[in-house]
Structure 1
Amino acid sequence: MPAVIQLPAGKALTVRAAADVFLDSLGNPNTVRNYAIGVGKIAERLGEGRPLVSVADDEIGEALELLWGTSAVNTWNARRASVLSWLGWCGERGYDGPAVPVWAKRLTPPDSETPARSKMAIDRLIARREVHLREKTLWRMLYETTARAEEILGVNIEELDLAGRRAPVRGKGARPRTRRRGAIREDFVLETVYWDAGTARLLPRLLKGRTRGPVFVTHRKPGPGKVVSARDICPDTGLARLSYGQARMLLDEHTALGGGPGTGWDLHEWRHSGLTHLGEGGASLLMLMAKSRHKKPENVRRYFHPSAEAIAEVTSLLAPSDGRR
C-alpha cells in the first residue's frame, strides 16, 4: 500500500504542488519515473505556480497536443494516461481542477504495433506473487473473454452468471446519449461475453461474499469532493469502480519493469492476444467474429490462422467419391 500523503490545507493547491503530491503517492519507482515525465512537462507548460483550479480542461488538451501530438501512438497514450491519473487522483481527494477533455482521446495503436503476448508470458505475469488478486482476475478475464477493457470494468456483480461463466456487457455499439425531460438517458447494446476456468477460479475469491456493486473496485473510498454515480459505488464497502486510467496505470506498473515510458503492456493487448491464440488454435472466422463481437470479417481476419492440418482436412472434401475416378 502506498504511503498516505498529507495534502496542503487552507489554501489552493498549485499545479506544482498537485504534481508533487501525486508522484509522491506512487509506490513503485518505475511508475514514478514513467509518470514524472508526462505530469512534470504538463505542469511546466501550464505554469507551476498557478492554482490548479484555475486551469481549464482545454488547456490540458492543448498542452498534450503541443508536447506529444506528433509522437508515436504509444507515447501519446502513455503521456495522456499519466495526466489522466494525476488529475483523477487530485479530484478524488477533493481538489477541484481540470480534466482531460473528451477531444484529447486515447489513440488505438495500429494493428502492426499491437503485440500478441505468448500464453507463457501471460501465465507468468498473472502468477506473480506481487500482483494483487484484483489485477490477476481482471487480466485473466480480459484474456479469456477477449472483451474490451471498458466493457469488463463496467460489469456489476449482480450481472454475473457465475455458473454459466458469462455476463452481459455494454458493447461498443452503444447509441449516443439522449436527453429526455432534462435528464440524460444512456441506451446501450448489451452483448454477452464468456470466460473459462481461470476466471471462474479467481472471481469468487475476489468477490469475497459481495453480491452487488462493481466487480472491480479501488482500494480506497473516493474523497469528499468526488461525485460518483450510485452504480459506480459498492453499497457495502463504499469503494468506487476501478477506472480505465487506473487499470492502465496498474498494468504499466507491472509490465514496464526496466523500460522507458510507454513500454508496458496496453490493456488492448489482452483482447488482441486472446483472439490471436484462438485463431492459431484453429477457430473459424465465424467463431472468432462471434467471440470478439466484431461486425465486419476484415476486422477479425488478422486473427485467423488456420493450421496446415486444418487446410488439408477441408481440402479433402473436394476429393472424388469412391465410386468415381
Structure 2
Amino acid sequence: MRLREKTLYRLLFETAARAEEILALNIEDLDLTARQARVKAKGARAKTRRRGQAREDFVLETVYWDAGAARLLPRLLKGRTRGPVFVTHRRPGPGKVIGPRDVCPDTGLARLSYGQARALLDEHTALNGPGTGWDLHEFRHSALTHLGEAGASLLMLMAKSRHKKPENLRRYFKPSPDAIAEITSLLAPRTSG
C-alpha cells in the first residue's frame, strides 16, 4: 500500500471526518504542529452579511488527528507547502478541465477524487472481487465505535464527529460482541466475602 493511501486511511480514522472533507483539504488548511485542520463541513453555508449579501467564505469546523497521521503527513507532503494534500500520481489528461484549487501548483498533479479513493480502498480490501471491499465512510464508523467502546460519552462523540443531533450519531456506534459482554459483566452479583 502506498504512503498516500496509508496517510488518507489513518487521517480518516483519527479525525472521524467525512471522506469528502479530508479529500478537499489543502496543505494550507493543515496545522501540523497542533494536529488539526479546518474543513468545510457537510451542509456548510456561506456566511452572510447584514444586508443579506453572501460572501465567498464558509463556516469552517476543526478536525483533530493524533500521532499516526502526524507521523505520515510530513512524509507524504515531502516539503510541498501549498495545493491539495492528496494528489493523483499522474498529471491530468489534456482534455480534463480541473479548477486551480484542485491542482498542485508545484507538481501539476490533480487532487485525488472521492471515486479514485474509493476504488483504491476497494482494491486493498476486496475479498470476493471488485466492489466487495470497504467503503471510505467505514473509517468514520469504526473510529466512533472504538471511541464509544473506550468509554467516550455521547457528548464527546458528538463533538468529535461534529453531529448536531444524538439520533444521527447513534447509527454509527455499533459495539462489538466483546464490548457488550464486558458491560454485561457489570450486572453480575457481587460476592460478599
Q: Give, in whole Å, the separation in 2 of the partners of 1:191 and 1:212.
A: 20
Letter matched to residue 289 of structure 1: M
Letter matched to residue 45 of structure 2: R
Say whether 1:271 aligns with 2:140. Answer: yes
Question: Relative CO higher for 1 or 2, CA cutoff 8 Å, sep ≥ 6?
Answer: 2
Structure number with bigger Rg: 1
Cross-structure match for 2:166: 297
Q: Give, in whole Å, the separation in 2 of the partners of 1:304 and 1:227.
A: 41
Letter matched to residue 295 of structure 1: K
Cross-structure match for 1:287: 156
Contact 2:122 2:130 in 1 (8 A): no
TM-score, normalised to structure 1, is 0.50
C-alpha deviation, 1:223, in angstroms: 1.2
Task: Summarize deviations over 1:294-324 as a string: whole Å, max 9, x none.
Answer: 1101111342868739x89xxxxxxxxxxxx
Cross-structure match for 1:152: 22
C-alpha deviation, 1:260, in angstroms: 3.3
Structure 1 runs of 4+ with >4 Å offset: 304-307
- State the secondary structure of the residue aligned to 2:140: helix
Cross-structure match for 2:191: none
Say whether 1:308 aligns with 2:178. Answer: no
Identical-residue share of aligned pairs (%): 78
C-alpha RMSD of the superposition: 2.3
Contact 1:172 1:189 in 2 (8 A): no
Contact 2:121 2:134 in 1 (8 A): yes
- State the secondary structure of the residue aligned to 1:221: coil
Task: Summarize deviations over 1:149-202 as a string: whole Å, max 9, x none.
Answer: 0100000001100010000111002238xxxxxxxx765331110001000000
Q: Give, in whole Å, the separation in 2 of the partners of 1:297 and 1:136.
A: 31
Which of 58, 61, 73 is the matching residue for 1:191?
A: 61
Cross-structure match for 2:84: 214
Q: Give, in whole Å, the separation in 1 of the partners of 2:91 and 2:130.
A: 29
- Segments of structure 1 that go 5 or more residues without pairing to the other structure are 1-130, 177-184, 313-325
C-alpha deviation, 1:263, in angstroms: 1.0
Letter matched to residue 59 of structure 2: V
- State the secondary structure of the residue aligned to 1:198: helix
Q: Which has the higher strand share?
A: 2
- State the secondary structure of the residue aligned to 2:39: strand
Letter matched to residue 238 of structure 1: G
Q: Give, in whole Å, the separation in 1 of the partners of 2:43 and 2:81.
A: 28
Contact 1:173 1:188 in 2 (8 A): no
Q: Give, in whole Å, the separation in 1 of the partners of 2:56 and 2:163.
A: 22
Which of 34, 43, 50 is the matching residue for 1:164?
A: 34
Say whether 1:202 aligns with 2:72. Answer: yes
Cross-structure match for 1:232: 102
TM-score, normalised to structure 2, is 0.83
Cross-structure match for 2:4: 134
Q: Give, in whole Å, the separation in 1 of the partners of 2:65 and 2:26.
A: 15
Contact 2:3 2:76 in 1 (8 A): yes
Q: Which has the higher helix share?
A: 1
Q: Give, in whole Å, the separation in 2 of the partners of 1:208 and 1:215.
A: 11
Q: Give, in whole Å, the separation in 2 of the partners of 1:304 and 1:296.
A: 17
Alignment of 1:40-59 (within 5 A): none
- State the secondary structure of the residue aligned to 1:205: helix
Alignment of 1:255-270 (within 5 A): 255-257=125-127, 259-270=128-139
Contact 1:284 1:304 in 2 (8 A): no
Number of paired residues? 174
Q: Give, in whole Å, the separation in 1 of the partners of 2:116 and 2:174.
A: 32
Q: Give, in whole Å, the separation in 1 of the partners of 2:163 and 2:117.
A: 24
C-alpha deviation, 1:228, in angstroms: 1.0
Q: Give, in whole Å, the separation in 2 of the partners of 1:287 and 1:235.
A: 38
Task: Summarize deviations over 1:123-161 as a string: whole Å, max 9, x none.
Answer: xxxxxxxx0000000000000000000100000001100
